[in-house]
Amino acid sequence: MKQLTLIVALLLCSAVSLAQEEGTFYGGFESNSQWLQQDDDLFTFDPGATFLPEDQFRANNYLQLNYTYGKFTAGVQYELYLPSALLGYSPVFDGNNGVATYFLNFKNETLDITGGYFYEQFGSGLLLRSWEDRQLGVNTAIRGARVKWTPYDYWDVTALVGQQRDGFNVSEGVVTALDSNLDIGNVAELENIDLRFGASYVNRYQDRGSNEVIPSNVAAYGARLDFGVGNFFGGVEAGMKDEDAIAAEGELVSNRLYDGTALLVNLGYSQKGLGINSTFRRLENFSFYSDRLAEGNQFNQQLINYTPGLTKQQDYLLTNIYVYNPQPRLLTDNLEQRVGEVGTQTDIYYTFPKESFLGKYRTKVAFNFSYWGGLDTTFNEDLSYDVEFIGSGDRYWRDVNFEIKNRWSSKFSSVLTFQNVITDKGVVLGGPLGQQGDIKATVVVAEGTIKFNNGKSLRLVGQHLWTEQDRKDWAGLVTEFNFNSRLSVYVADAFNYAGEGELHYYNVGGSYSKGRTRLGLNYGRQRGGLICVGGVCRFVPANNGLSINLSVNF
């Protein structure tokens, strides 16, 4: 297979060199590297720091080349992880390099056909989402074929078949999927109503070997309805998954089979100056993998569906210490028994009218509330279970936060943030849920930005976190100076001053951009724990060292 992908890459590069005068050639290069240093204080006081890796230098490199000619587009991505991948990435990448993905696409007014590796999402991704996020180390591209047919502007159909990427290999299971969307409002000529319907089918085929109890085919089915009427909007998406065995640590737990269900409801209201959005989601045994034995792996490899944590995505040092990691899995072992999660999130945004006192300072207020807990479940002796739709299961997460933004003048603006969070220790520290107690924390952040002449600006952020249940109190400070739109430098420190040992997580760095090239440097300590992007998380061990990030687009 490596020889085949190399041949494809060479053919693609040859085609580009021969025809780039008539078509469009574009791509990019990205390099993220670390030089890790020994730090005795860090490895003494940070529970996430247990060792200094053997490979002190680590790098993730990506080279992407694409060529478009008429209705055809071809692309290839070469990846290199030498001598090892960055900390917290799946070990399947360590020491490897080669052509990771490639594709050939044809697209006209009604047909969109792709062969090779591709990314796809059905609806919100509740049943299927293949995607790439290099910061998280996620790339779940599917290698196979996909056809999108759009015979009318109100109806489209997508069909695909393939195997999901797993490092530089592909999954053992074969994914077959079908999706269709219909714009009912367009068909029925509804003038003031936007109404759209979608339906999805996703199947995984995997050889069951000599085990005749577990199924070879496991399918998931889903439907969704989205609407917009005046200032109101919303949607409902529901899914169900066939009975399947569950796995842990790469082995089947037993031959007992369990089905799964999912429900996602979203409602909102929007007008000038006001926005309200509320989401409810219930997941019961709704993690779906292209290899049944990959279930529960911490690196999100071979994950077919997409169930991110639906909470406020924070931007500051201390508001990102305690984050929510979604819990859609079914666990039946003696240590922990749970079947999924249920919860809600609500956002309210308000901008004061310009003629009001606060409106003169362009005051904006944002409020967020989220609550997530386990499903109320009773397990029987044979490990079957009875579950309530909502009930009163264990609390995993509760967050209340708000922010106030002001622009006091053309030269000065500010942001005030308050957060109060309660989280199960097992969610953020690892281990069983509902057994270790809660962490209760309050965070206050004050940010100010001063603009000077010639594009210069100074940003100052002061932060404080109070808690008694984990590592006690923290203080944080960030100073960032922008010389212009291309060059900026910063100094940051998160100080855990009330824990077992006083520890500074200092960082100093900056970035320079010119045209399509950006270079970023950072030296300092990285706190161990969860790092989340868009509600998807990965665990990063605490470390100290130099990081270099280079990206070039062409």
Q: Terminal CA-to-CA distance of the chain, rounded, Å?
A: 29
Same domain, 137 and 285: yes
Angle ∠(282,401,528) on CA atoms, nearest 5:
80
Give the H or E element holding residue 489: strand 487-496
Least confident of 43-47, 138-142, 398-402, 483-487: 43-47
Number of domains composing the chain: 2
- How high does pLDDT run on average in the chain? 94
Same domain, 484 and 401: yes
Domain contains 265: yes
Using alpha carbons, select from 332, 323, 344, 341 the residue that is nearest to residue 295: 332
Which residues fall within 8 angstroms of residue 11, CB to CB, at 6 or more apart?
Answer: none
- How far, in whole angstroms, is CA 156 from its chain's centroid? 27
Q: Which domain holds residue 453?
A: 308-341+356-514
CATH number reported for the structural domain that contains residue 236 in this entry = 2.40.160
Q: Which class for 236: exposed (0-12), middle (13-18), buried (19 or more C-beta within 10 A)?
A: middle
Domain contains 538: no
Domain contains 293: yes
Per-residue pLDDT tens digits for 1-46: 444 444 444 444 544 454 445 799 999 999 999 999 989 888 888 8
pLDDT at 45: 83
Domain contains 497: yes
Same domain, 223 and 317: no
Mean pLDDT of the region 136-162: 97
Same domain, 325 and 467: yes
Domain contains 177: yes
Same domain, 283 and 381: no
Task: Please say if the pLDDT value at position 362 is more than 50.
Answer: yes
Task: Please say if the pLDDT value at position 248 is more than 50.
Answer: yes
Domain contains 211: yes
Same domain, 126 and 239: yes
Same domain, 376 and 263: no
Report pTM.
Answer: 0.93
Task: Please say if the pLDDT value at position 491 is more than 60.
Answer: yes
Same domain, 334 and 474: yes
The two three-digit tokens of residue 264, written as one number: 């996602």
pLDDT at 286: 98
Same domain, 360 and 470: yes
Same domain, 184 and 277: yes
- 50: pLDDT confidence band, cut at 50, 70 and 90? low
Task: Please say if the pLDDT value at position 501 is more than 90.
Answer: no
Cα gap 389→166, rounded to integer Å: 35
- How far, in whole angstroms, is CA 87 from its chain's centroid? 17
Same domain, 153 and 237: yes
Mean pLDDT of the region 241-270: 96
Same domain, 482 and 500: yes
Domain contains 374: yes
Domain contains 112: yes
